């Protein structure tokens, strides 16, 4: 590559034979202050400033060079060029002043000496040079300002991109934390996809049944429940806006079912759902009353056609006319404080205080009748008569029960047959036919005991 010197008036090139001993030095682009000094000393307008611009060694004094290494010459740090074609290497000696007489001084036409004009022109040229240098500096300052603005804009864009990237990362991290926290919470959203857990906590086989029951209860009506233990007759007080509900209707229904099915304590439910224990108590009380009045209107006793449609073969072959299988179940309660209540609730069969209910199922195994709760002292015949069970039966129906149900006379007047195991005769032994009948009824009546067991699995 041919190198040429950019100094004013210098014609040296690296391909000339007489320039073979010269060294070539690039401009100090990385040192703005030194570069400005070099440019001012070169006295060139718009000199090329790049890494391919060079100055030959003739423009530097010998003091500017380091010791030669391998025949190459290197400039010292901060060296300044001093030799140019318009700068003599040595100043001429000052001549002795010559005494001129007034006759020897040339005059101009206007009567002033000629040297006055020369000084004025020199001052004028110096002023023009200073103005030109000032303009160059102003142009350089404007270029530096533009460069600074461009760099500032690039820096602001980079900072903005970093800020947006950091915000995006924080947003993603927040979403991950919220998702992790949501998955760690105990609620229906994290349970509904697991049928086994849903059955364990609610008793429902899947989420579809859970949603169907909730829809039957009515989400709109359930959302307007007033969780208060005191009666409020004033309509304005009921419509008064209160604090926003912490849990949704679906979550509150799930909470109540967890209390019924698993028997979780109120303190445990408060910790699981992150609400106060008092709010858990109010939710359970209000929703229990609400579900009672809603389900009370639903008649679960099916028609005879539906019963015949779902009747298993074991009933069709042996007890074809069976409509319902009934049995009694008792629930243990605390001993009442009043003697009258103790007498009414004492069960001689359980030898403790209980509440008794009549339960009936269809031959297909579904619950079709559940009576109100009565004191444990009530007899099977009396609870059958008072519970309203007889009103559900029609002429021609058959009822299967345990031998303790002495209700044949009650149902005979309505044309309903009762299938119970035969009683022991006086000999103390069953005949072969009685043993077969007892075994057949026991194998079919076991289904009602299984249904009762499913009810008793609710630990409330």
Encode pLDDT of 71-100 as tens digits: 677 777 778 877 776 544 445 555 555 554
Is there a domain that residue 31 lies in?
yes
| Residues 434 and 311 grouped into a single domain | yes
The whole-number average pLDDT for the span 201-229 is 84
Spatial contact of 140 and 133, defined as CB atoms under 8 Å apart: no
| Highest mean pLDDT of the ranges 151-160, 399-408, 414-423 | 151-160
Count helices and strands (H / E) in the chain. Answer: 16, 9
| Residues 287 and 317 grouped into a single domain | no
| Residues 311 and 445 grouped into a single domain | yes
| Residues 265 and 324 grouped into a single domain | no
pLDDT at residue 112 above 80?
no
| Residues 260 and 379 grouped into a single domain | no
| Residues 356 and 443 grouped into a single domain | yes
Q: How far is CA 97 from CA 92, 101, 118, 186, 420, in A?
A: 15, 12, 18, 111, 158
Phi-psi region of 140 (alpha: psi -120 to 50; beta: other; left: phi over 0): alpha
Q: Give long-range contacts, CB 8 A cutoff, 24+ apart: 83-91.
A: 83/58, 83/59, 84/7, 84/8, 84/9, 84/10, 84/41, 84/42, 84/43, 84/59, 85/7, 85/8, 85/9, 85/10, 86/8, 86/9, 86/43
pLDDT at residue 326 above 70?
yes
Q: Tell me the pLDDT band of 235, cut-offs 50, 70 and 90.
A: very low
| Positive or negative torsion for Cα 331, 418, 368, 287 | negative
| Residues 256 and 319 grouped into a single domain | no
Is there a domain that residue 206 lies in?
yes
- pLDDT value, residue 252: 92
Is there a domain that residue 157 lies in?
no
| Residues 310 and 441 grouped into a single domain | yes
| Residues 286 and 336 grouped into a single domain | no
Of 64, 85, 106, the domain-final residue: 85
Of 42, 62, 85, the domain-final residue: 85
The whole-number average pLDDT for the span 446-456 is 81
The whole-number average pLDDT for the span 432-440 is 73
What is the number of domains present in the chain? Answer: 3
| Residues 293 and 356 grouped into a single domain | no
Query: Could you report the per-residue pLDDT of 123-154, keeping only the tens digit for each?
Result: 767 778 888 888 888 888 988 898 899 889 88
Spatial contact of 58 and 12, defined as CB atoms under 8 Å apart: yes
> Measured over all CA atoms, what is the biggest interatomic distance in the chain, rounded to whole angstroms?
183
d(Cα 279, Cα 9) in Å, to the nearest integer?
A: 98
| Residues 399 and 449 grouped into a single domain | yes
d(Cα 256, Cα 285) in Å, to the nearest integer?
A: 9
Residue range(s) defining the domain that contains residue 354: 304-457
Higher pLDDT, 272 or 454: 272
| Residues 317 and 258 grouped into a single domain | no
């Amino acid at each position: 590559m041919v190198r040429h010197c950019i100094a004013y008036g210098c014609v040296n090139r690296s391909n000339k034979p007489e320039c073979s001993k010269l060294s070539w030095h690039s401009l100090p682009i990385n040192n703005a202050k030194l570069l400005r000094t070099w440019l001012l000393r070169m006295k060139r307008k718009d000199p090329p400033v790049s890494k391919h611009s060079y100055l030959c060694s003739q423009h530097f004094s010998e003091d500017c060079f380091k010791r030669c290494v391998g025949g190459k010459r290197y400039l010292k740090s901060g060296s300044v060029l001093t030799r140019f074609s318009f700068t003599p290497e040595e100043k001429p000696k000052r001549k002795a002043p010559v005494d001129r007489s007034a006759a020897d001084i040339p005059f101009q036409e206007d009567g002033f000496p000629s040297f006055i004009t020369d000084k004025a022109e020199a001052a004028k040229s110096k002023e023009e040079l200073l103005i030109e240098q000032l303009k160059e500096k102003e142009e350089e300052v404007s270029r530096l300002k533009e460069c600074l603005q461009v760099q500032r804009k690039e820096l602001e864009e980079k900072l903005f991109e970093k800020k947006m990237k950091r915000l995006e990362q924080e947003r993603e991290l927040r979403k991950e934390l919220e998702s992790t926290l949501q998955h760690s919470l105990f609620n229906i959203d994290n349970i509904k996809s697991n049928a086994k857990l849903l059955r364990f906590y609610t008793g429902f086989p899947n989420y579809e049944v859970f949603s169907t029951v909730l829809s039957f209860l009515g989400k709109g009506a359930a959302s307007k429940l007033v969780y208060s233990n005191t009666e409020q007759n004033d309509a304005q007080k009921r419509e008064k806006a209160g604090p926003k509900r912490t849990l949704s209707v679906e979550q509150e229904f799930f909470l109540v079912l967890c209390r019924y099915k698993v028997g979780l304590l109120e303190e445990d439910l408060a910790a699981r759902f992150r609400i106060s224990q008092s709010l858990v108590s109010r939710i359970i009380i209000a929703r229990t009353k609400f579900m009672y009045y809603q389900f009370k209107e639903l008649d679960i006793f099916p028609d005879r056609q539906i019963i015949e449609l779902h009747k298993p073969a074991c009933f069709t072959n042996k007890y074809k006319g069976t409509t319902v299988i009934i049995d009694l179940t008792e629930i243990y309660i605390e001993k009442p404080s009043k003697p009258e209540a103790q007498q009414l609730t004492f069960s001689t069969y359980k030898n403790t205080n209980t509440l008794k209910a009549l339960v009936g199922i269809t031959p297909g195994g579904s619950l079709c009748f559940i009576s109100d709760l009565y004191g444990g002292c009530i007899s099977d015949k009396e609870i059958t008569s008072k519970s309203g069970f007889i009103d559900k039966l029609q002429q021609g129906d058959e009822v299967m029960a345990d031998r303790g149900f002495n209700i044949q006379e009650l149902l005979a007047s309505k044309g309903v047959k009762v299938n119970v195991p035969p009683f022991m005769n006086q000999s103390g032994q069953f005949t072969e036919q009685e043993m077969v009948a007892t075994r057949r009824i026991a194998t079919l009546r076991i289904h009602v005991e299984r249904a009762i067991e499913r009810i008793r699995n609710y630990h409330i």
